[in-house]
Amino acid sequence: MKTLFQIATAALLAVVSSTAAEKPNIIVIMADDLGYGDLSCYGATVFKTPNIDKLAAQGQRFTSGYCSASTCTPTRFSLLTGTYAFRAKNTGIAPPNGPAIIRPGTTTLPSLLQQAGYRTAVIGKWHLGLGDKAPDWNGDLKPGPLEIGFHECFMLPTTNDRVPQVYVENHKVLNLDPADPLTVSEKPIDPNEPTGISARDTLKMDWTHGHNGTIHNGISRIGFYTGGKAARFRDEDLADKWIEKSKAYIAANKDKPFFLFFAAHDIHVPRIPHERFQGKSGTGLRGDSILQFDWCVGEIMATLDEHKLTENTLIVLCSDNGPVLDDGYKDGSVTELGKHEPAGPFTGGKYTVYEGGTRTPFITRWPGKIPTGVSDQLVCTIDLAASFAALTGVPLPEDACLDSMDVLSALLDDNDGTGRDELVQQDNGTKGGKADFGFRSGDWKLIRRTSKYQQPAKVSKRPMPELKGLHSLHFLPDDPSEKKDVSKENPEMLKELIERLDAIIAAGRTRS
Ligand code: NG6
Ligand code: CA
């Protein structure tokens, strides 16, 4: 039984916290496969990203900003649920017919913001599955984003190298003609439909591995589909469509707090930016796609200016995993790379637990609230749920967002804010439910693999370090590129970090 004093104190605290809460618009811009070195504000010199550079100059640019995994689906799972993906089943790269991974009833970043009174939307790539057992392409595509906290969505169901090339608006495939139903399969459906193998000579972009299923827009994909012809889009138009929809969403919600998850498809394969960006970066279509992404960021910033929302909008720019060059298509990413370093000073990239796999661009801007500068605080995309809940005054349920840390002061402050002390990094985590782990603790980094096999990242002309065992230990200030295993010289530290990682895994949560 509570005493009157306790009730009065609780009521007072509630008033204090609700008045302390702020409700700026929040836009999370997540790039796809964008590496630490892919922006000129992070050291790229071969081409320039002026819009993102401007965003960074007006806010904080983080040097230890991470995503939680080195592939898309687990990072997005963790962004939205605030829980490490390795704790949940089936959080590896989602296939074309994969069901909804985040189940209705889960507390999510957008559901928390809905509680705070926000309008919420996701525009862009989803890649977290749709439907109860599988997507019902010709019916209602649910559960999906609308069942876990988004009021609206306009998106690409998985990735654009996976079938089908259609937009999903709320629960429906957009422009689907019922007379031409859409069928999606892992196996060939119609033997007469040309594929990347049977009609390889007709392709406008050849494949290097996988990606030899159904052909659409001259590009063969992962998987097969028939029908839905009127609903199919051109790859070249994706970014323009995301911007058109985002502009409309911002305009429609300019008078209330809104949350936009702008999930760009750039710079994932197939890298087919709009014709106006092709050939512009000097590093092939991969760099051209970075220019397109930069344009998108500029359009979002201009839209905020137009509606006088800039001062009242918190933007977080991040990536879903580190960079990759050849990810299945001959798109010039290797041959035209030149001296560009997609992972900056780091080793590895997408699919790896080296720093290059998860240490990625991370920028926050909120004019007047966030001082300008560079921050070395450790922050991660998984922390946005708890941090936005703290910002907007929404209490986190005990059993939700199990690994999301409130790093709001680090996101908003100039270096005196508090970031994380430690972070678990993972790969795609599909090896029988296990994952390769990176574990950063202060300046130390433990790498722990499940096998000696390490998918080569090949994102740099610099060679990957040679693997000697399942563990390695690195002291990042001396060895940012994780080339020097110092575990022999520091057996105590190695032991401590392995035990700590095991404890984090066993505890089932890290948020107290
Ligand atoms: C891999 C694909 C790769 C990419 C990745 C997902 C092959 C050989 N490789 O399986 O091209 O689609 O999945 O990328 O098919 S992610 O950024 O969405 O995680
Ligand atoms: Ca990705």
Q: Following DSSP, what letter does each residue of 32-88 receive, concatenated?
A: SS--TTSSGGGT--SS--HHHHHHHHTSEEEEEEE-SBSSHHHHHHHHHHSS-GGGS
User: Can you read off the two tokens belonging to residue 411?
Assistant: 């996101």
Residue 32 C-alpha to ligand 2 middle, in angstroms? 4
Residue 272 C-alpha to ligand 1 middle, in angstroms? 16
> Of all protein residues, whose CA lies closest to atom 13 belonging to ligand 1?
93
Q: pTM for this structure? A: 0.95
3-class DSSP state of 28:
strand
Number of other CB atoms surrounding residue 361 within 10 Å: 24
Residue-wise pLDDT tens for the chain (512 aa)?
344 444 444 444 444 444 457 999 999 999 999 999 999 999 999 999 999 999 999 999 999 999 999 999 999 999 999 999 999 999 999 999 999 999 999 999 999 999 999 999 999 999 999 999 999 999 999 999 999 999 999 999 999 999 999 999 999 999 999 999 999 999 999 999 999 999 999 999 999 999 999 999 999 999 999 999 999 999 999 999 999 999 999 999 999 999 999 999 999 999 999 999 999 999 999 999 999 999 999 999 999 999 999 999 999 999 999 999 999 999 999 999 999 999 999 999 999 999 999 999 999 999 999 999 999 999 999 999 999 999 999 999 999 999 999 999 999 987 778 999 999 999 998 766 689 999 999 999 999 998 877 777 678 777 788 778 899 999 999 999 999 999 999 999 999 999 999 999 999 999 99
First-to-final CA distance of the chain: 25
Atom from ligand 1 closest to the CA of residue 209 = 8
**Which ligand minimizes its atom distance to the CA of 318?**
2
Residue 321 C-alpha to ligand 2 middle, in angstroms? 5
DSSP 215-238: EETTEE-BSEEE--GGGB--GGGH
pLDDT of residue 413: 85
Sheet containing strand 363-365, strands side by side:
172-173, 168-169, 152-156, 119-125, 258-263, 25-31, 313-319, 363-365, 60-66, 373-380
Atom from ligand 1 closest to the CA of residue 32 = 17
Residue 345 near residue 481, CB atoms below 8 Å: yes
Nearest in space to 290 (alpha carbons), one of 26, 53, 28: 53
Q: Return d(Cα 346, Cα 354) in angstroms, integer.
A: 8
> Of all protein residues, whose CA lies closest to atom 17 belonging to ligand 1?
72
Q: Which of 161, 265, 351 to mutate to test the pocket of ligand 1 (most atoms within 8 A of CB)?
A: 161
Q: Which of 32, 68, 72 to mutate to test the pocket of ligand 1 (most atoms within 8 A of CB)?
A: 72
> Of all protein residues, whose CA lies closest to atom 6 belonging to ligand 1?
93
Task: Check whether the bond before 505 is cis (ω within 30° of 0).
Answer: no
Q: Return d(Cα 318, Cα 316) in angstroms, integer.
A: 7
Nearest in space to 363 (alpha carbons), one of 314, 419, 405, 307: 314
Phi/psi of residue 367, each to 5°?
A: -55, 135
**Left if phi > 0, otherwise alpha if psi is -120 to 50, otherwise beta: which for 399?**
alpha
- Residue linked to tokens 């052909």: 215
Nearest in space to 355 (alpha carbons), one of 35, 28, 16, 12: 35
Atom from ligand 1 closest to the CA of residue 321 = 17
> Of all protein residues, whose CA lies closest to atom 11 belonging to ligand 1?
327
Amino acid letter, 495: K
Q: Return d(Cα 51, Cα 314) in angstroms, integer.
A: 16
Q: State the number of CA atoms in the 13 A half-sphere of 53 facing the CB.
A: 15
pLDDT of residue 2: 42
Q: Which of 327, 329, 428 to mutate to test the pocket of ligand 1 (most atoms within 8 A of CB)?
A: 327
Residue 321 C-alpha to ligand 1 middle, in angstroms? 12
- Residue linked to tokens 């690994």: 403
- The helix or strand, by DSSP H or E, that contains position 503, with its residue range, turns out to be helix 491-507
Residue 351 C-alpha to ligand 2 middle, in angstroms? 9
**Which ligand minimizes its atom distance to the CA of 35?**
2
Distance of alpha carbon 96 from the chain centroid: 18
- The helix or strand, by DSSP H or E, that contains position 26, with its residue range, turns out to be strand 25-31
Distance of alpha carbon 194 from the chain centroid: 33
**Which ligand minimizes its atom distance to the CA of 30?**
2
Atom from ligand 1 closest to the CA of residue 125 = 18
**Which ligand minimizes its atom distance to the CA of 212?**
1
User: Can you read off the two tokens belonging to residue 440?
Assistant: 């950063």
Query: Which residues are close to ligand 2, an ion, with C-beta < 5 A?
Result: 32-33, 72, 320-321
Nearest in space to 429 (alpha carbons), one of 124, 93, 7: 93
Amino acid letter, 105: G
Atom from ligand 1 closest to the CA of residue 320 = 17
Atom from ligand 1 closest to the CA of residue 127 = 18
Atom from ligand 1 closest to the CA of residue 428 = 19
Domains of the chain with CATH codes: 22-182+227-419 (3.40.720.10), 423-507 (3.30.1120.10)
Atom from ligand 1 closest to the CA of residue 328 = 11
Number of other CB atoms surrounding residue 177 within 10 Å: 13
Number of other CB atoms surrounding residue 56 within 10 Å: 25
> Of all protein residues, whose CA lies closest to atom 5 belonging to ligand 1?
93
User: Can you read off the two tokens belonging to residue 33?
Assistant: 């496969």
**Which ligand minimizes its atom distance to the CA of 319?**
2
**Which ligand minimizes its atom distance to the CA of 33?**
2
Pocket-forming residues, ligand 1, beta carbon under 6 Å? 32-33, 71-72, 93, 127, 159, 161, 209-211, 222, 268-269, 321, 327-328
Phi/psi of residue 335, each to 5°?
A: -70, -30
Residue 214 C-alpha to ligand 2 middle, in angstroms? 22
Q: Return d(Cα 355, Cα 348) in angstroms, integer.
A: 7
Handedness of CA 288, 289, 294, 300 (dihedral sign): positive
